[in-house]
Amino acid sequence: MTGKTVVVTGGNTGVGFHTAAALRHMGADVVLTARDPAKGQAAVAEIEAQVPAGTPGSTAWQHLDLASFRSIESFAERFADEHDRIDVLVNNAGALLGKRSFTEEGFEATFGVNHLGHFLLTQRLLPLLRAQPGSRIVNVASEAHRAARGIDFDDIQRERSYKPFRVYAESKLMNILFTRELARRLADVPIHAFAVHPGVVASRFAQDGDAGGLIPWFYRVFKVFMRTPEQGARGTIYLASAPSIEGRSGGYFVDEHEKTPSRYARDDALARRLWEASEAWVAARHP
């Protein structure tokens, strides 16, 4: 990865942190994003302290809040001013929220952060990705997508019913559909898109007070049976760096292995509809 520039959203903790650290050890110039400056700076310091002397590359952090279109635009503009390329974009950040809440633009927050924020971010960074042939976009999805039965376009704001895991599962389905449609639209461009399931990871996910009900309890009680964040990062690291995945754009992976997602995740018409709806949602709130 020497000489390559990598962006990892939510790279200050969990799977994102270990993805950023591993790619930095491989010689990449890694930019991790965080909402909290102290956490971003601490993650950079921890990664750099572990890198052997003389290893090429660098680690830096930039502020990014995926629940804010203003923050996304600011990040993209700032990044383009400082860099002329992106070799790998890892859309890793995500949320599972116990209570219905909203992004800055008024979108239901799980949908807004997990899908729509990364949709807009990817659009804004595409010029830099296009500038580097062979660049990659890795979207961190989840096997939880199998619990989703399509997308409820008529209640995307969850005004009728808000069930945390169901909303999360649908957002993870969106991640895979977005990957599929992105790969189709970039078929004639040397940019590759992949979706990956990191496994059920014993990280801080759902443990910081945002998730409600039995979800935090589940993560605490069954933590001993879960993967470590290092293990959870394997698939993302593989898709970001392995030379053997050329020609597999649009695929859904678990670790190093391509896997067949749910039938809803393979619905090309649904993927196109989600893309077009996402463009409309962004335009309506962000002209």
Question: Three-state SS for 180?
Answer: helix
Residue 202, classified by CB atoms within 10 Å of its CB into exposed (0-12), middle (13-18) or buried (19+), is: buried
* Residue where the block lists tokens 């383009």: 80
- For the chain, helix (H) and strand (E) counts, in that order, are 10, 8
Distance of alpha carbon 89 from alpha carbon 5, whole angstroms: 9
Quick one: CA dihedral 169, 207, 252, 275, positive or negative? positive
Q: How far is CA 155 from CA 94, 151, 171, 203, 223, in A?
A: 21, 9, 13, 31, 33
Q: Are 279 and 160 in contact (CB under 8 A)?
A: no
Distance of alpha carbon 113 from alpha carbon 58, whole angstroms: 27
- State how far Cα 283 lies from the chain centre: 21
Strand 5-8 to strand 88-91: parallel, antiparallel, or no bridges (unpaired)? parallel
| 252 in catalytic set | no
Give the active site residue among 162, 168, 219, 252.
168
Q: Are 43 and 15 in contact (CB under 8 A)?
A: no
Residue 114 tokens read as 């997990």
Q: Are 125 and 133 in contact (CB under 8 A)?
A: no
Distance of alpha carbon 222 from alpha carbon 205, whole angstroms: 13
Residue 173 tokens read as 């389905």
Q: Which residues are catalytic?
A: 168
